[in-house]
Amino acid sequence: MNYILAIDQGTTSSRAILFDAALKVVATAQEEFPQIYPASGWVEHDPSDLWSSVAATARAAVERAEIDARDIAAIGITNQRETVVIWDRATGQPIHNAIVWQDRRTADLCHDLVAQGHEPMITARTGLLLDPYFSATKVKWLLDHVEGARAKARAGELLFGTVDSYLIWKLTGGRAHVTDATNAARTMLFDIGRGTWDEEICRLLDVPMAMLPEVKDCAAPFGMTRADLFGREIPILGVAGDQQAATCGQACFRPGMMKSTYGTGCFALLNTGTEQVASRNRLLTTIAYQLNGQRTYALEGSIFIAGAVVQWLRDGLKLIREAGETHGLARAADPAQDLVIVPAFTGLGAPWWKPESRGGIFGLTRNSGPQEFARAALESVGFQTRDLLEAMRADWTAGAEGVLRVDGGMTASDWTMQFLADIIGAPVDRPVVRETTALGAAWLAGMQAGICPGPEGFAASWALDRRFEPEMDEETRSLRYARWGRAVRAVMSV
């Protein structure tokens, strides 16, 4: 039993990666699934798509590796966070589509709760801001809008879960209703200091606590899979939300270490150790990971649109056929043009938190074309990252290190990573293993299974692919960042 199966359920696709005991990739499988947009600012998934794509890719990865399921020691799961599924306890059937983390339908409810003065209490306990991004108001919306849902929830007939909980329920045949501390911390219903669900917040939002899953460490026994899925039962031994899994995969175990993941969105985490740092700059205080009952905290900055801006160029504007074309176009862009794209398609995340904002394009000329759009799209990710890092450094001056570790699909572009180093004015380290989200989930499961080392041993194996050093002069950096700031203020004022 020398293999670990990592399930990585993301916003636009599900992926399974089989690792060996040395955490080297043996086989992979990936499957995209549809995005559902019922109204402006609303985003949903069909839960059956989440489950079928996970089941299919998990089986495919095992088949491609040409191993027997008896060789798999454990399964690790990582997932898109904050996305909400509610299902019937008896039948396992979801009562509605999953409401995705990007969804903004509860913006008015959040505004009302802020106006009523509830945000300070919620932030003090959960580390989060009162925003539609998080799970809690999505749960309330479903209970309020799906016929009969609230009565069933009060009767104990419905279960709530983030995507990890739903997948574990399906994998175990309904035998386990569990989650881990990192996913619980993103619901806005969990007291991250006490490590328990918060009764007062649940009462405020009328969320029956009987709906909530049991919360475990990130490395723990979460249940056994149904025997019919893989031909034998396999233990699920590691779970973490995608950004926390990436933090583990990047071996950011030392306070002061920072990582930034570039997928659909961009998420930067700064390890603050056992200290809960209360942000003065509208960042989030969250759980980085929990091992052996010990919580490690982080400051997090969340950007809603990163890789999704490249998808917009491809699917919305039809300027490219493949995402990989963008860095070549960016390199060929006219240096005399200074196009700025603020991709606030579903509002602005940290440090602004303006759900009502929408995107804007500034500096258009008659000669602006695909090259300039591609460059501005990629640059928007660097500018937004600097916004997060500036806030982090202001919030926690005790020991933020100067190097940023990066991962995710966008890091394959040397052009994008060089611009990132240039605009933040600090080195950017890209690891050999760029898909660190799945790696983190595999390590958690493998450590619990006893075939992978602990944090120190795992950190020693982290390997650098390339370091990008800043090359832009300070005057240019300051001028370009100031222009970005004016563009952001413009979209906030509309």
The string of pLDDT tens digits covering residues 164-201 is 999 999 999 999 999 999 999 999 999 999 999 999 99
Nearest Cα neighbor of 4 from 236, 318, 213 is 236
Determine the average pLDDT of the residues in 380-384. Answer: 93
Cα distance between residue 399 and residue 151, in whole Å? 50
* pLDDT for residue 348: 85
* pLDDT for residue 315: 84
The string of pLDDT tens digits covering residues 27-50 is 999 999 999 999 988 999 999 999
Determine the average pLDDT of the residues in 366-390. Answer: 91
Strand ordering across the sheet containing 13-20: 25-32, 13-20, 3-9, 72-79, 235-241, 219-224
**pLDDT of residue 399 exceeding 80:** no
Least confident of 28-37, 117-126, 168-177, 340-349: 340-349
* pLDDT for residue 250: 93
Domain positions in the chain = 3-242, 250-431+463-494
* pLDDT for residue 344: 87
Cα distance between residue 135 and residue 110, in whole Å? 12
* pLDDT for residue 214: 97
Report phi then psi at 67, rounded to 5.
-120, 170
* pLDDT for residue 310: 85
**pLDDT of residue 398 exceeding 70:** no
Same topology, domains 3-242 and 250-431+463-494? Answer is yes
- 148 alpha-carbon distance from chain centroid: 32
pLDDT class for 327, splitting at 50, 70, 90? confident
Nearest Cα neighbor of 290 from 209, 220, 366, 376 is 220
Determine the average pLDDT of the residues in 195-221. Answer: 96
Are 190 and 196 in contact by the 8 Å Cβ rule? The answer is yes
**pLDDT of residue 60 exceeding 90:** yes
Cα distance between residue 373 and residue 241, in whole Å? 32
Nearest Cα neighbor of 490 from 292, 269, 342, 376 is 342
The string of pLDDT tens digits covering residues 469-491 is 999 999 999 999 999 999 999 98
Determine the average pLDDT of the residues in 285-290. Answer: 95
* pLDDT for residue 147: 93
Residue in this structure with the two tokens 């909530």, named with its chain if needed: 212
* pLDDT for residue 8: 95
Average pLDDT, the chain: 92
Determine the average pLDDT of the residues in 257-261. Answer: 91
pTM of the shown model: 0.88
**pLDDT of residue 1 exceeding 80:** no
Are 242 and 81 in contact by the 8 Å Cβ rule? The answer is yes
Determine the average pLDDT of the residues in 400-411. Answer: 84
- What CATH number is given for 250-431+463-494 in this structure? 3.30.420.40
CATH 3.30.590.20 assigned to domain 3-242? The reply is: no
Q: Tell me what percent of the residues of the chain surpass a pLDDT of 90.
A: 71
